Amino acid sequence: MGCAASRHGAVSSPPYDVSSSCSYNMSRSASASADLGSSSALSIWSRPVRLEAFDEEDDERRRLSGRDAAARLGNVRRCMEGEQAAAGWPSWLSAVAAEAVHGWVPLRAESFERLEKIGQGTYSSVFRARELATGRLVALKKVRFDSVEPESVRFMAREILILRRLRGHPNVVGLEGIITSRSSPSIYLVFEYLEHDLAGLSSSPDITFTEPQIKCYMRQLLEGLAHCHARGVMHRDIKCANLLVNNSGELKVADFGLANLFAPAPAAPLTSRVVTLWYRPPELLLGATAYEPSVDLWSAGCVFAEMHARRPVLQGRTEVEQIHRIFKLCGSPPEDFWRRLGLSHGAVFRPQQPYPSRLRDTFAASMPDHTFRLLATLLSLDPAGRGTAAAALDAEYFTTAPYACEPESLPKYAPNKEMDAKLREESRRRSNLPSQGGEADKGLSRGHKSMRLQDTNQSHVHAEVRRCRGRWAHLRVLFSVHR
């Protein structure tokens, strides 16, 4: 069974489809229930009854209807599990994540030749592989989880459901299938293969992005985010390493392991402990548990700045240091920031004296006004000030020369990923050569260099960190991790 069969099955089968026999049983049960309900209603109204008697019978009818609905739902679930067992899905997966794999057929591990490791995360490893039947390259993501722990399986299932919801957009990485079997406790997600990620490209000493190239990458990033947000998905881990690029110049948002659905009025609090530290927005660092897709736009602003500076611009070592680095670059938030976002306990992090914004001093000298305005919008301390991904695509930045180049006109590079960047940095350390920061300084503006010099003298930031660190353990108790 090849990837093509799995893909077609996924497209033709909606998430809640069941077999014809299941549908027949459901409709028959529903009809019987409707008939029972109508006859009961007629018998009540054909004779005088006390209001209390009507209420009692109505309550009983609701109880019967609820039990009948639960029974029908149970029948549907058993039918789905039966179909998935016949398709070859392991019982531990179909019992907890039936909806995630419904309509698909598992791929077989022996259909692929696993090559080298190309990525490593907290919860997964990524390998380059070859599909033997076609010879084409794919990426295999081995997900680490405990198959006997339902909650662990549910998190993995959520990633699959979100990837299926987002399929078909040119700027979102495509899930092509799942490798597992009834006898296997592990799962590989099969993705299209892309040769690079933005972390590897932007940190390479041999690569310097032009303004049209940066515009091309940013346009594709925002297109991908606009699609995610329109489909009700927050990525919650946008960073250069999760933005993949192929040799056709296409950028695709990847790694939805921390992604979640959002609603205007969420039913339950969200966890604030998402997004890689250097790309995490201030509201999450301050413990917000009700937030929206604007968290992704802050991260996109960090990526935008990184492509210009050729290094991450907010490199805190702890959460406390990270929030003070943000305040030092973007300025201290106004008083109503804490009140409007419900972050009254965030007063713990308020600096003893306010920071002025240094964003313009740091970047404006090397950027046209329209470029700086987009950066300032994305790096707004106020989540509402960041706008939306769709609005960012309409910014003057994209309608002013030099225009974004077309993806196919981007240079062709040798494979270059975050892992390659780490190997380069390790090689430099062993050879006692200057880090990438030293190389990058050659192309930075005076403002960028001043930012680097300021980063070497952080005594006042460290003083704030020491002031807050004693209260941080207590504050962590308040920041409960809900989901």
Could you tell me which residues are annotated as the binding site for ATP? 141
Instruction: Give the number of residues written for the chain.
Output: 483
Identified catalytic residue from 237, 255, 296, 420:
237
Q: Could you report how far apart the first and last alpha carbons of the chain are, in Å?
A: 36
* Binding-site annotation, residues: 141
The total of other beta-carbon atoms located within 10 Å of residue 143's CB is 21
Active site (annotated) includes residue 237: yes
Question: DSSP letters of 183-202?
Answer: T-S-EEEEEE--SEEHHHHH
Q: Render the burial of 69-96: b for 16+ CB within 10 Å, e for the rest.
A: eeebeeebbebbbebbeebebbebbbeb
Q: What phi and psi, each to the nearest 5 degrees, are found at residue 382? A: -80, 120
How far from 237 is each of 101, 121, 276, 315, 341, CA to CA, in Å?
24, 12, 6, 16, 21
CA–CA dist 460, 351 (Å, integer): 10
Contact 303, 221 (CB under 8 A): yes
Contact 392, 219 (CB under 8 A): no
Question: DSSP letters of 392-457?
Answer: HHTSHHHHSSSPPPPGGGSPP---B-HHHHHHHHHHHHHHT---HHHHHGGG--HHHHHHHHHHT-
Catalytic residues: 237
